[in-house]
Structure 1
Amino acid sequence: MALRRGLAELIIIAANAEPLEIALHLPLLCVDKNVRYVFVRSKTALGRACNIRRKVIACAIVKKIRSPLVQQINTLQSEIEKFCGSRI
């Protein structure tokens, strides 16, 4: 929802989603919306990172103007760009 509404700054997708087809549309949508995305190995670890006990296939990072996380989000996006060599 956040991606389609234009609110997402970064999309994180679990590479071990089963079936994988449920997450394969997300990179294309990210490209259309000009939003960075990254794959992580485990949907279980992604769920833990989201502070949820269930497995998570994908999540969106939404940047709020006055959020204390803005600097961390910017740093994470910069690190992803360095790792990948260009904007995702």
Structure 2
Amino acid sequence: MTEGEVNPKAFPLAEATLTQKLLNLVQQASNYQQLRKGANEATKALNRGLAEMIVMAADAEPLEILLHLPLLCEDKNVPYVFVRSKTALGRACGVSRAVVSCAVTADEGSQLKPQITMMHKEIEKLLV
């Protein structure tokens, strides 16, 4: 696979405008401490029922390290989506490293609730 190519297993993949919105939401979630970074943390958040949504990087190498997450998400009825770049995801998470996946977590009385709900709808449109 060359740079810019995306693994076909990375479905649903957000297009540029949705990616921008997702990364903004991830950044806000990071500011509100409603973010779990990394595949392991995302898995734990899902298993504990904390995750509101999962964002994964389509350029993770190998992609198989993430492919247990969509299955878990479907079991738990949590929306998930892929963005093209792990570097951009890492930046949005507020760390200097590349991040292959993150979970936006639930928080009672959070200001992010309306944005998270809106994202759920946008992600559902991708799956149709």
The residue number in structure 1 matching 2:8 is none
Distance in structure 1 (CA, Å) of the matches to 2:62 and 2:127? 26
Partner of 2:50: 7
* Kept in 1: contact 2:57–2:85 (CA 8 A): yes
2:114 paired residue number? 71
Asked if 1 retains the 8 angstrom alpha-carbon contact of 2:79 and 2:124, the reply is no
- Residue by residue over 1:8-53, the C-alpha shift from the partner in whole angstroms, topping out at 9 and shown as x without a partner, is 0100010111111111111111111111100110100111111111
For residues 82 and 29 of structure 1, the distance between their equivalents in structure 2, rounded to whole angstroms, comes to 20
Give TM-score, length-normalised by structure 1. Answer: 0.89
CA RMSD of aligned residues (A): 1.1
Q: CA deviation at 1:84?
A: 3.0
1:1-88, aligned counterparts within 5 Å? 1-85=44-128
Shift of 1:82: 2.6
Distance 2:98 2:54 in 1: 16
2-structure distance, mates of 1:58, 1:83: 19
Secondary structure in 1 matching 2:52: strand
Whole-Å separation in 2 of the counterparts to 1:20 and 1:83: 20
- Structure 1: which 4+ aligned runs deviate by more than 4 Å? none
Partner Cα distance (1:15, 1:24) in 2: 10
**Structure 2 residue matching 1:51: 3-state secondary structure:** coil
Tell me how far apart the structure 2 counterparts of residues 83 and 26 of structure 1 sit (CA, whole Å). 17
Report the Cα offset of residue 79 of structure 1: 1.6
Structure 1 Cα separation of the partners of residues 45 and 94 of structure 2: 18
Bigger proportion of residues as strand: 1
CA offset digits 1:52-82 (Å, max 9, x no partner)? 1110011001121111111111111112223
